[in-house]
Structure 1
Amino acid sequence: MSTGATAAGTDAGTDATGPFGSLREQLRGAATAFAGGPGAVPGILSGMVDDVDRALREELEIFPVCHHSPASALAMARRLREKRPKVVYMELCEDLAPLLDELRNCRLPVALQAYAGDLDGFPDGAGPLSVIAPITETSAEYQAIAYALETPGVELVLVDRSVDHLFQWELPAPDGSAPDASDPGASGAGAPAASAAPGEATAHEESAGLHGDAVGVELGELRPRFAELEEHLLHHGKVRHWSEWWDQYVEQPLAGAGYDTYRQVMVLIGSLFRRLAPSDGDRLSRDEDRERYMWTRIRAHLARTGGDPAECMYVCGAFHAASRVEEFGLAAPETGWEIGPATATEWLYGLIPSSHSAIEAQFGLAGGSVSISAATWEKQVSAGGAVPFRLKGQRTGKGGAGTGKAKGAGRARAAAAPAGVTDRLSEFLSSPPAAGDLDESELLGWCVDIVRLARRNGYTSSTADAIAVFETSILLAGIRGRARPTPYDFQDAAITCIEKDTVPGRRDVRHLCEILLGGDRIGEVGYSAMPPLARDVFDRLAPLGIGPSKRTVRRVLLDLKADPELEPCSRLLWRLSRLLRGGAVRPITGSLELGERSTQESWDVSLGRDQRPLIELGYEGVTVEQVLEQRLRRSAWEPKATAATALAAIEDAICYLDNPRFTDELGARAVELLAAERTVDDAPEVLRRFRRLLAYYRAGNSALPRWCESFVTAGYAHYCTLLPGSFTDEHTGVRQVAAMLGFLFTLENMALSLGCDRTQLELAVKQSHPEAPAKVALLWAAQAQLGVVTRDRLRARCAELLDNPLVVPAFPQYLSGFVQALSPAPSLAPFVVEVMSDAFARLPDQVLLPWLPTLITTLREHAQEMVPVLIREAGRTFPASLPAVDAWVPPWAAEPEPVRPAAPAAPAGPVADLLAGNPAACDAVAALLGCDGGWPAAGEPGGAAAGPSAHREAAGLLARHPAAAAAAAELVAGAGARA
């Protein structure tokens, strides 16, 4: 706990004089009597009074607020109409000021946003950085903004630290990590994102994430930072969560209070939470630095403009109004504290939609609390509690405020602060709660409406349930010590009486109550307030009837054959579906892949409702095509990029962009990354994607790009170099080695035509000496593919494995290697079926049965994608019917028929006829050559129907020496002619 009591003695106004002297002495006496003697409690209580006195004595009027507080907004509207200040200083990031005028074109709630993707001056890995500051109609800051922008001669000055300084202070970690969302200080002025109380369900969960992971900044975070204090307040206040406690004990009493009372109570609460805040963290020191920053900016502005402090107002959170830093106030001495320079980071600014549930999720508020605050604000304004300010042209949501009558102005003047400081705290703290009358008509309306709404959502509610909710609400309010039922009492009563034990539909009763009390309003950014990219998207999608004001999901049907002019819209939708998250543009039917394009498409488009992703896309570029190209280039050039990443970027560039130059640039990057890789972890992905790209280019009947040829040659050399080491590296899987071989074998012809040497692959295979069974089988398959090992030799090796009982348990690993080999060597599919069938046939049951689960799990783990290929081959090999199995003989087991040598064919033609007609001459030549034998008998091959005895050797001799036979025939023919 902070030892704020020790500092209280040094605060101004600690004597018994002044407007708060009597209150200070009463609190000291009560605390001393309660504690049984002097201690820290009296000092804390009196210090709180000192903080109030100090804030109210400041020359510059300080207006303390709490975020999204109707009481603060009401008091702000009244005070602004009374004082009419010329300068309004406000606690909000100073560099967000140019966005405020764009609020005219929006429907609240929206959030001011600053975003930076490329960081310069921040730790590595800290980005991207994003800050949001939500604005609602029920907030005091909106009243101040509307007053300043709509009143001539009024200047609005934002004095809080810039977004750049915010992250400079929030990112001091030496490891460069981004601020932790669980750190209470990470959300600046706002509380951290947290869940609601146990059993609380945030309404409209789909809109609760509108802020994403952005750091939230709110004007006036006011919540105990001492967990035990909050628990104590909730327990004794008989409430479940902080939002309900604040509504009962602060909002309702201050809604109609005078300005002095409001101001003093808010500073008192801020002082209490500040003095009881833990002092063992950096958050308090950051808060103090923020206060130094704001007061430094205020003094510098007054010195530069020469303004009169009496005509100025400083709007800040009540926590900062009770500041005790030396730089507090216009008369503070110079302490030498200076504001450091900003980094070189370029920040992008804009507006994004917000919602009540998103604000609740961002700042740890109970579900429905912002909706209840909005309902309270509208009720007070309708009753004439104040005349609110509104920006001209501001679009309002359902039930928007702003209908207050002129009588509110009279009340505001009556409640205005007098010239001097008067003690209003004593009266406020000693007075009992006002006994407000029960508004039966309002409560009855709630009860009837909730029953009607419940019936529409599947509940079996009736009039009796409405009566029960009415009576239970009054009962709960009495138990909790409330003068009249609050929306929280009504909500609990409705859950008890209607929901009971089951929820028939998607919405529970708590959600229905939130809808009844105002619902989860989702803001909308107007067309003119959007970045150029978002406006360009809506302009290009105008032929489809898609605009920023369409708040529903629109089903778009495209028939590109009938309406070819819609082709640009279709291309834009595909690009948006690739870039946007959250399903704002979602294809229902149709596809866009390499070489494929649907002619009929249907889309679900909700760009008007889900504006945030599109608006944030505008921070990255001017057009969708530019952003997509930047993202693809960033993914291919990031430090951890691989060849597979670059190939994926090439696929997207071909599908979504019509830019061959950019595709060639990505291809060159893919070649560079492949040559630089030292591992083969991505080899399967590289092979799959490159095969698909080759098929696309070849199907287009066009020449391959130069980068494809370079990729093949670089990959061939790269994988040949890494192949021996991958076979022996135990960290390299079988799938990776099989993918390398697949690249080498399937692209071998192309690589050789481009100048690669096959000897390099043969040497790589020879140098590979794996030990793992699966890799051994893979190596055998590679050797068979290269022709180094015959199919018979592979059969012999597998037979040796099955004959060795020590190797049989590991045989599934060999099989998985063979199955993986089907990718680089698909011709081995029959052999793999043969090996597996042989194993099932030869192994005995006592070995085969324990072996089967291992085989199945091994194939599923290591060769799952190749098992279908194996099954198809088995289907072609085995018989299709069961009766045929008994008579079926495997093709590898059938004995081949003996091959008989064919008899030499007798020569035919004119030469053969001449020799057959002169057998004596032939016999004489044969005798000279030393050949004995006769002519074939009639009916024998080569014989005549009737002729001399056969002489097979002579016939064979003539067949072997046709040139000599032809020369002899010419001589015989010449001699016959001369005769």
Structure 2
Amino acid sequence: MTPGPPAGDGRGDRGGRARVEVFGVRHHGPGSARAVRRALEDFTPDAVLVEGPPEADPIVALAGDPEMVPPVALLAYAPGRAPAGGASGGSGGASGGTERQAAFWPFAEFSPEWQAIRYALGAGVPVRFCDLPAGHQLVQDTGDPDADPGEPAAPGDPGEPAEPAAPGEPAGPGDRGHEPAERAIRLDPLGWLARAAGYDDAERWWDDVVEHRHDGPSPFPAIAEAMTELRERLTAPGEDLTGLPPGYLRREERREAHMRRTLRRALKEGHERVAVICGAWHVPALLRKVPAARDDQILRGLPKAKVAMTWVPWTHGRLAGDSGYGAGVRSPGWYHHLFKAPDRPVERWLTEAARVLREEDLHVSSAHVIEAVRLAEALAALRGRPLAGLEEVDEAALAVLCEGAGLPLELIRRRMVVGERLGSVPERTPMVPLQRDLQAQQRRLRLKPSALDREQDLDLRRPNDLERSRLLHRLRLLDVDWGVPQEDGGRSKGTFRETWTLMWRPEFDVELIEASAWGTTVHGAATARAEAMAAHAGALADLTSVAERCLLADLGEALPGVMRALADRAAVDTDVAHLMSALPALVRALRYGDVRGTATGPLRTVVDGLVVRICVGLPPAVSGLDDDAAREALGRIDAVHGALALLDDPAHLRRWRDTLASVVDREHLHGLLEGRLTRLLLDAGRMPGVADRMARAVSAGAAPDRAAAWIEGFLSGGGLILVHDEDLLRLVDAWIAGLPGEAFTGVLPLLRRAFGGYGAAERRTIGERVRRLDGPRAPGDRPDDDGPDPVRAAPATATALRILGWEAPA
């Protein structure tokens, strides 16, 4: 493939000496990458052009640094913009205006563009990017007649969702068969070629003809010819454009015009052997004779944003099509293996799969591997494939290594087929100060980012773990959820421990860049963000959440302002529901503040005031509630009760229990609340005669739905009370047994909800005790009028005294 330069370049063919080679590739494919490397070594260009944003030309040399380990991505972002929504990997992210926040151009080691860049840098050949500048792609052109007003410009990654460009972006097996031919070709060129070759799966066809090739002639002339034929079919009159993405044609036209312009510039600079690596769909456009004036007209007047470029780490998971990346592949881990192990890839893959299974204590022998390889090769031969593909390897692993079990195969797929390889970038990569500060803290605290989720247990009594906890909480204030605390706010039942799940995602770099508007260090940015959140908090509960997060993150500079705003808001808020929703977060912060060494004096004043106001306002707030309102009130009561138990202040507990006792006998109290308050007071030792209260609640004169609500509220604290109190169990059993059929059907959902929350052991024990209610007492049961049996209690008493270090009485 040796075309002349595009028409209109002003240089002619330089006496026949200038030569251009255009290599059409799949953006991520091991066969394409190997073929590009061989083709460049044979062609020996004096300039290499790669599809990508030209703004990255100044930092392309970093790709040759030994510390640059793919997968990595070029990141384009608008510097100095106020914090807004983040960007998603592979397709850019749109925030509230007409401009995109960021866009990525990912590269794996098996990406042809990456291999072309590394070849050029190693050979000392100039390399530059030739796609439409990111500054144009991050701005919506409102003057575009083809664009939807609500559709932002196409992101600049190689092979975005709207681009049918490079082969290797199939839309799925056979899913274009019923569309008009022109639209099917534009949206899925690979699928069209695969069906013409007799395949029902475009990815399998591309693997067979390109990715699984190791030797033989270059595939690029055939690819160019196929794409030329497809595009010529689209030039026929009456092309059906229905269903194409808004503005698609105009975006593609602009991108290809800029590629031709960059090629002309390279030739004009005196380069005589220019290699272009681009998506195969664009090859005919670059070879076509188009006047330079025509391309200038297409590109004239495009809006442009100021952007900055950098390199960021990427992951194989973000290269997968399932992640939403339009140019993604199904199996980046498999493709990486094919590129790194061209010799006996099937044998090496199944050997690695056996190792993964052995690490999980599953028995896999060498004989298993040998038989699996034979089966994979036999399947490939039966299906006429040049090499066993992932489908054959998976089937062989399932049948032989996994012995037909699906879960071990899922383990292999998760660890190997996609994988979570995380790349790295050199220290000298351009970064905002906030990113550098975070990297310094990661090194100091020995918290290494990983693409695999892992648990991190922190003991807050250790200074290093305490600093780790503060860093993770500060990042969460900046919406960088590198660490996610487990349930109960990341705390275990003890005071001194936290458990986090850590997993680094590439888009965190975008979020750090956006958060850099708050400050240049993690501590400073988190402080400024907390102050802004407190100033714009819409509800009291939001303010209490900010106060709690400030304490967890040790943001002493922000806390006084937050506490002033909290005290002012709490003083004027008269809604008891708001006060009850706000209290738990404050109590948690107060209870655990001493562990972190943070001052909580002002917080205690706010908590004391809230408790008094809640106790005064609760009685009128719970009267005359319907079912939905009662259930919401029940959740708030439970939350306040748990918070005060955690606070463990005798005066507040006494005041709260007195309030509950005054409410439980009020008229028009919903049955759900009455039952729950009865249970809370019983557990606190403040409710005698509970059996009589339950008897009245479930008597024949009570409405079945109210009785069921009372029972649900009473039992919502756990079923152990029915295990240990036979009288209450008999009352519940007799009430349920005496319900008429229609009433039983009506209350059954409430009963299922009450008992469904119990553990299996509790339900089983209750069932066993109900079965014995009408029979003789079991040996372990004691009559209600008997006290503790000292003879039966003696062994347990002796054991308890021995544990406490006391001697059992003789």
TM-score (norm 1): 0.52
Q: Which moved more, 1:279-288 or 1:308-317?
A: 308-317
Compared CA separation, residues 288 and 145, structure 1 to 2 (3 A): farther
Answer yes or no: is 1:332 the counterpart of 2:294: yes
Which letter does structure 2 place at the counterpart of 1:664? P
Contact 1:75 1:262 in 2 (8 A): no
Shift of 1:136: 3.5
Q: Secondary structure at the match of 1:885?
A: coil
Residue 660 (structure 1) shift:
2.7
Which of these residues, 247, 256, 265, is aligned with residue 225 of structure 2?
265
Q: 1:304 to 1:672 in 2, by over 3 A?
A: farther
Which amino acid in 1 is paired with 2:403?
A: T
Paired with 1:154 and 1:262, the residues of 2 have a C-alpha distance of 27
1:118 equivalenced with 2:84 (yes/no):
yes
Gaps of 5+ in 2: 14-19, 87-92, 175-182, 356-363, 682-686, 767-776, 788-810
Question: How far, CA to CA, are the matches of 2:390 and 2:715 in structure 1?
Answer: 68
- 1:215-614 equivalence runs, <5 A: 225=185, 233-235=193-195, 237-239=197-199, 241-249=201-209, 257=217, 261=221, 264-265=224-225, 267-268=227-228, 271=231, 279-283=241-245, 285-292=247-254, 295=257, 299=261, 307=269, 315-323=277-285, 328-332=290-294, 335=297, 338-342=300-304, 349-355=310-316, 358-359=319-320, 361=322, 362-363=325-326, 367-368=330-331, 371=334, 375=338, 457-458=364-365, 460-461=367-368, 473-474=380-381, 476-477=383-384, 486-488=386-388, 492=392, 495=395, 499=399, 502-503=403-404, 508=409, 522=421, 524-528=423-427, 531=431, 539-540=440-441, 567-568=463-464, 571-572=467-468, 575-576=471-472, 579=475, 596-597=495-496, 612=506
Partner residue, 1:666:
562
2:22 aligns with: 63
Q: Compare relative contact order (CA 8 Å, sep 6+) and give the higher one, 1 or 2.
A: 2
Q: 2:540 aligns with which of 643, 649, 662?
A: 643
Letter in 2 for 1:350: W
Q: How far, CA to CA, are the matches of 2:387 and 2:414 in structure 1?
A: 9
Question: For residues 252 and 358 of structure 1, do their structure 2 counterparts lie closer, same or farther at Cα, with a shift above 3 Å needed?
Answer: closer
C-alpha distance in 1 between matches for 2:460 and 2:414? 47
Instruction: Name the CA distance, whole Å, in 2 between partners of 1:451 and 1:471.
Output: 15
Distance 1:519 1:256, change over 3 A: farther
What is the SS of the residue equivalent to 1:813? Answer: helix
Q: Distance in 2 between matches of 1:111 and 1:256?
A: 31
Change (3 A) 1:778 1:72: closer
SS across alignment from 2:105: strand
CA shift digits 1:685-726 (9 cap, x unpaired): 533333344445699999963354346546755886797466
Match of 2:586 in 1: 690
1:909 maps to none
Partner Cα distance (2:350, 2:526) in 1: 50
Give the C-alpha shift of residue 133 in structure 1. 1.5
Contact 1:65 1:72 in 2 (8 A): no
Whether contact under 8 Å (1:148, 1:155) holds in the other structure is: yes
Q: Do the aligned partners of residues 651 and 535 (structure 1) sit closer, same or farther apart at CA in structure 2, a change above 3 Å counting?
A: same
Q: Which structure 2 residues correspond to residues 80-95 of structure 1 after superposition, within 5 A?
A: 82=43, 84-85=45-46, 89-95=49-55
Deviations 1:481-510 (A, max 9, x none): xxxx62246973894698369346866599
1:635/1:816 CA distance change after superposition, 3 Å = farther
Over the residues paired in the alignment, what is the CA RMSD in angstroms? Answer: 7.0
Cα deviation digits, residues 337-379 of structure 1 (max 9, x gap)? 64443468x877431133388345534666457855874xx7x
- AA aligned opposite 2:633: Q
Matches within 5 A, 1:846-857: 846=738, 856-857=751-752
Counterpart contact for 1:734–1:862, Cα < 8 Å: no
Task: Determine whether 1:805 maps to 2:684.
Answer: no
| TM superposition shift of 1:525 | 0.9
Answer yes or no: is the 8 Å Cα contact 1:292–1:328 preserved in 2: no
**How far is the alpha carbon of 1:813 from its aligned partner?**
3.4
How far apart in 1 are the matches of 2:264 and 2:76?
Answer: 27
Deviation at 1:268, TM superposition (A): 1.4
Contact 2:337 2:345 in 1 (8 A): no
Aligned length: 697
Gapped regions of structure 1 (runs ≥ 5): 1-18, 21-51, 199-222, 379-396, 400-441, 478-484, 784-789, 823-828, 872-878, 890-979
Structure 1 letter corresponding to 2:387: P
Q: Which structure's CA Rg is the greater one?
A: 1
How has the CA–CA distance of structure 1 residues 777 and 195 changed in structure 2, closer, same or farther, with 3 Å as cutoff? same
Q: Which residue of 2 aligns with 1:427?
A: none
State the partner residue of 2:63. Answer: 103
Per-residue deviation, residues 599-653 of structure 1 (Å, max 9, x unmatched) = xx99998x8xx674775665345544456556756766676x6433443443343
Change (3 A) 1:593 1:645: farther
Inter-partner Cα distance in structure 2 for 1:123 and 1:617? 13
Q: Deviations over 1:450-497 (max 9, x none)?
A: 7766766457537677666656655543xxxxxxx6224697389469
Q: Provide the rounded CA distance (Å) in 1 between the counterparts of 2:532 and 2:24.
A: 44
The AA in structure 2 aligned to 1:736 is A
Contact kept? 1:591, 1:597, Cα under 8 Å: no
Q: What's the CA shift for 1:247?
A: 4.2
Q: Structure 1 residues 841, 493: closer, same or farther in 2, change over 3 A?
A: closer
CA distance in 1, matches of 2:460, 2:639: 39
SS of 1:487's partner is coil
Question: Percent same amino acid at aligned positions?
Answer: 14
For the Cα contact (< 8 Å) 1:63–1:314, is it kept in 2?
yes
CA distance in 1, matches of 2:456, 2:596: 31
**CA distance change for structure 1 residues 260 and 464 in 2, over 3 Å: closer, same or farther?**
closer
**2:76–2:309 contact (8 Å) kept in structure 1:** yes
The residue type paired with residue 257 of structure 2 is W
AA in 2 matched with 1:687: L
TM-score normalised per structure 2? 0.61
Displacement of 1:287 in angstroms is 4.3
How far apart, in 1, do the equivalents of 2:411 and 2:640 lie?
A: 60
Per-residue Cα deviation, 1:494-544 (whole angstroms, up to 9, x for no partner): 9469836934686659969997xx996935214415656666556556578
How far apart, CA to CA, are the structure 1 residues paired with 2:68 and 2:736? 79
